[in-house]
Amino acid sequence: MQERLDRVVGWALLWWATLLHRTVAKQEQWHRWQARRNLALCQAEARGRRPKEIADRLGLSEAHVKAKIRDGRKVARVGVDAAAREAAAEEDAE
């Protein structure tokens, strides 16, 4: 009986760990990708691409692109991982 209970509890813990891994790791990875995108937008703008052109290409508003370019400057200063952690912390605070 104890062996069966251990098996069921082990399965439940594995399921829980998998769920946490997929949701938390996915969220952290998403913030890293966003930080990399913002850095790329900032670098494209620094090399002569106008925010209007970037916005048209991405299907975003020009104001949104300008905000992401500002975020990209922060990423360039602190690095992708630090910017992603900061963005995740801000999201958790909301």
CA distances from 60 to 6, 12, 57, 66 (A): 52, 42, 8, 10
Summarised one tens digit per residue, pLDDT across range 34-91 is 899 999 999 999 999 999 999 998 898 999 999 989 988 888 888 888 888 888 888 7
Summarised one tens digit per residue, pLDDT across range 7-30 is 888 888 888 877 777 777 788 888
Tell me what pLDDT residue 86 has.
Answer: 86
Give the start-to-end residue ranges of the domains of the chain. 2-93
Task: Give the residue among 71, 94, 88 at the shortest CA–CA distance from 23.
Answer: 88
31: exposed, middle or buried (Cβ count in 10 Å: 0-12, 13-18, 19+): buried
Considering only residues 46 and 1, tell me which one the structure prediction assigns the higher pLDDT. Answer: 46
